[in-house]
């Protein structure tokens, strides 16, 4: 949308971004780009906006403008977690309301190592409970870690960026 300003300047309001990823699939950002631009991230930086639909964004190259989004990917990690815990067999053994950081870390490691086998490795949230490897109170954190590990492995292909900026609510970033 074009907005003519009093000083003879024109303001352009652009809703969102679209891109085609290396996999040939379309992706969209509908508002998160304003957070990226507002954060004034250094060119070449990788930024993650955690949430229901987490965004991984790579900012422009070192010689580009600092507000350029070079590429981005969306991961349905938060929504998938909700669906799996509330509407699948995985939630049946889980006891919620507890924090188990060690189960979360175990899930992250497995998800990172096996991100290419996502639909198989997600079932580990069931078998880890059945076989007593993870207690029922730890299964929600284990699944969360698994999904985040899969997301990280998928976004980076095991070539982790030198640094990643987290941008979002403190609870989600934690």
pLDDT computed for residue 62 by the predictor: 56
Q: What is the helix (H) or strand (E) element at residue 79, kind and residue range?
A: helix 77-87
Q: How confident is the model at residue 20 (pLDDT cuts 50, 70, 90)?
A: very high
Angle at 67 between CA 79 and CA 37, to 5 degrees: 50
Average pLDDT estimate for 49-55: 94
Tell whether the model's pLDDT for residue 34 goes beyond 90: no
Report for 21-25, 140-144, 153-157, 161-165: range of highest mean pLDDT: 140-144
pTM: 0.86
Written as six digits, the tokens of 86 are 């509330």
């Amino acid at each position: 949308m074009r907005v003519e300003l009093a000083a003879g300047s024109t303001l352009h309001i652009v809703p969102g971004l679209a891109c085609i990823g290396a996999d040939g699939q379309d992706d969209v950002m509908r508002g998160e780009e304003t957070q990226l631009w507002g954060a004034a991230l250094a060119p070449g930086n990788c930024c993650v906006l955690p949430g229901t639909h987490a965004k991984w964004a790579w900012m422009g190259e070192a010689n580009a403008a600092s507000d350029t989004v070079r590429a981005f990917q969306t991961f349905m990690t938060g929504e998938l977690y909700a669906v799996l815990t509330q509407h699948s067999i995985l939630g049946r053994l889980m006891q919620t309301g507890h924090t188990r950081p060690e189960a979360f870390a175990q899930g992250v490691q497995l998800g990172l190592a096996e991100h290419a086998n996502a639909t198989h490795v997600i079932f580990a949230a069931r078998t880890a409970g059945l076989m007593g490897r993870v207690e029922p109170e730890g299964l929600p954190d284990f699944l969360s870690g698994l999904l985040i590990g899969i997301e990280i492995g998928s976004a980076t292909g095991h070539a982790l960026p030198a640094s990643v900026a987290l941008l979002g609510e403190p609870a989600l970033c934690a």
